[in-house]
Amino acid sequence: MSVFTSVLSCLFSLVLCAPLPVDGEGCRKCEHRGVLLCSNHTEEIHTYEKDVLFCSTVAACEDCAGALLVDCPKCDGGPDDHLIAPRQKEVADWMATHELSKFMERPLPMVETDRYQLLIDTGPLKLNKRKSMDGHLLMHLVARDVMEVERLVAEHYGLVDQSAAVEGETALEASMRRNYSNKMRMWFWSTLEDHQKVMRKYMGNSSTGDFKLLGGRPVFSAWTEKEMATVRGVRSACTHNAAHMLISNLRKPLWVGDIGGGWFDAGSGHWYEYEIHGRSTNYCIEEATVPLEYHGGVWRVALRKWIMKEDTYFLPRLMPMNTGAMTLPEQAICWSFYEWLVLNHQPALPKILEGLKAKQETRAVLKETLGMTVMQAEDAWRAWVVECYPIKGDELREPNQKKKRGRK
């Protein structure tokens, strides 16, 4: 090789092989990542943001635009710099899909998870007599509650997450694979006007109380009226209704509350609320005109007493009833029967729901899944209540406590 060509090739390789500019190495302040957590959000909020896919409140942050990270001001960058811009773009794309914000003509506080689209527009609400909680934190607590319902339902109905698409599958097969056919939309407003505005647009209804559509495209809307104007009120109403929505949407989108599965619908709605909040203070009756109260929502002692003094069978009369036709004490019976199923016959739950969604009569479903007539099931459930519900307090007696602990 001549001197000339070797110089040329050397120059050539210098040009081609010059190292690309690399990220800086960060500094001690950023632990050599080049980025810092955005300080506009508390440590608590940074933790809660990890639960959700998107949150519009952090998306509106002037410093991080929802990325939750900012460039380290003390150095010229590090290996995590590249995370910020793509995340900001994802967040901006998600914000642009907010049909509801466009309709209401203002930014709305929303979070989205795999299963839910939550809007908690309540502003700060009372936590107890002395303290209140800000609306953003409340929205994340609601997200945790409803995700816990989702986890329990997945456990009880043996759901396996199979998110990868299967080639050539039909729409129905795809919905079966995903277990649910749509996201559960839950909206909580601070005024009756906002609630009614979305009700008219999305539900074709102008009810003043809370309202939901169940089945294929579930949506729940409520506002902070009366006892729902507290942190507890919003959390428990969302938890209760998340259970109704998931179960109505699960596998075959259909609400069983008015096709002979009212007991199952009411029982499950109350049960998940009770399990997560230690009581059930929501009811499955729309626009009730009488105040609904049954032992402050703490039911085990009262039910045990009632069952011991009442000889006539409850279930043959309750089982064909629609959800909305039951009184609150009757719904409490359904809650307890669902509890008996969860703790003693959990593997039968998916089959029971499938049977009810196929519009089979409850007595046929129980016979097929438990091998019991309605009266035999009532005898077994009553015996369990007498043995396992407490005389005071609200803890289940052993061995059910153990079963519940083992489950968690």
* Cβ at position 387, least distance to Zn ion in Å: 27
Contact between residue 143 and residue 48 where contact means Cβ atoms under 8 Å apart: yes
The answer to the question of residue 55 lying near Zn ion (CB under 5 A) is yes
Query: Token digits for 5?
Result: 């060509």
Distance CA(103)–CA(90), nearest Å, equals 22
Strand partners, 163: none
Distance CA(348)–CA(369), nearest Å, equals 6
Which one among 61, 95, 192, 380 touches Zn ion, defined by CB under 5 A?
61
Closer residue to Zn ion, CB minimum distance, 127 or 372: 127
* Cβ at position 62, least distance to Zn ion in Å: 8
The answer to the question of residue 47 lying near Zn ion (CB under 5 A) is no
The H-assigned helical ranges of 33-170 are: 43-49, 56-59, 84-96, 99-104, 135-156
Closer residue to Zn ion, CB minimum distance, 74 or 151: 74
Pick the piece of the chain touching Zn ion (CB under 5 A) from 56-64, 92-100, 120-128, 163-171.
Answer: 56-64
- Residue 93 neighbours by CB distance under 10 Å: 10
Rounded to a whole number, what is the distance in angstroms from the first to the last CA of the chain? 75
The answer to the question of residue 214 lying near Zn ion (CB under 5 A) is no
Closer residue to Zn ion, CB minimum distance, 25 or 395: 25
Closer residue to Zn ion, CB minimum distance, 178 or 329: 329
Kindly report each contact of residues 193-199 with a partner whose C-beta sits within 8 Å and lies 24 or more positions away, as own/partner.
194/104, 194/121, 194/223, 195/221, 195/222, 195/223, 197/104, 198/100, 198/103, 198/104
Q: Please give the backbone phi and psi of residue 345, each rounded to the nearest 5 degrees, phi first.
A: -140, 40
Closer residue to Zn ion, CB minimum distance, 48 or 223: 48
Q: How many residues touch Zn ion (CB under 5 A)?
A: 17
Pick the piece of the chain touching Zn ion (CB under 5 A) from 57-65, 194-202, 347-355, 369-377.
Answer: 57-65
Site for Zn ion in 270-289 (CB under 5 A): 284
- Contact letters (x/-) for Zn ion, 19-38, by CB under 5 A? -------xx-xx-------x
The answer to the question of residue 53 lying near Zn ion (CB under 5 A) is no
Pick the piece of the chain touching Zn ion (CB under 5 A) from 61-69, 124-132, 174-182, 223-231.
Answer: 61-69
The answer to the question of residue 256 lying near Zn ion (CB under 5 A) is no
The answer to the question of residue 133 lying near Zn ion (CB under 5 A) is no
Q: Strand, helix or coil at 111?
A: strand
* Cβ at position 380, least distance to Zn ion in Å: 25
Distance CA(294)–CA(288), nearest Å, equals 14
The answer to the question of residue 97 lying near Zn ion (CB under 5 A) is no
Q: What DSSP character marks residue 63?
A: T
Residues forming contacts to Zn ion in the complex (CB under 5 A) are 26-27, 29-30, 38, 40, 55, 57-58, 61, 63-64, 72, 74-75, 269, 284
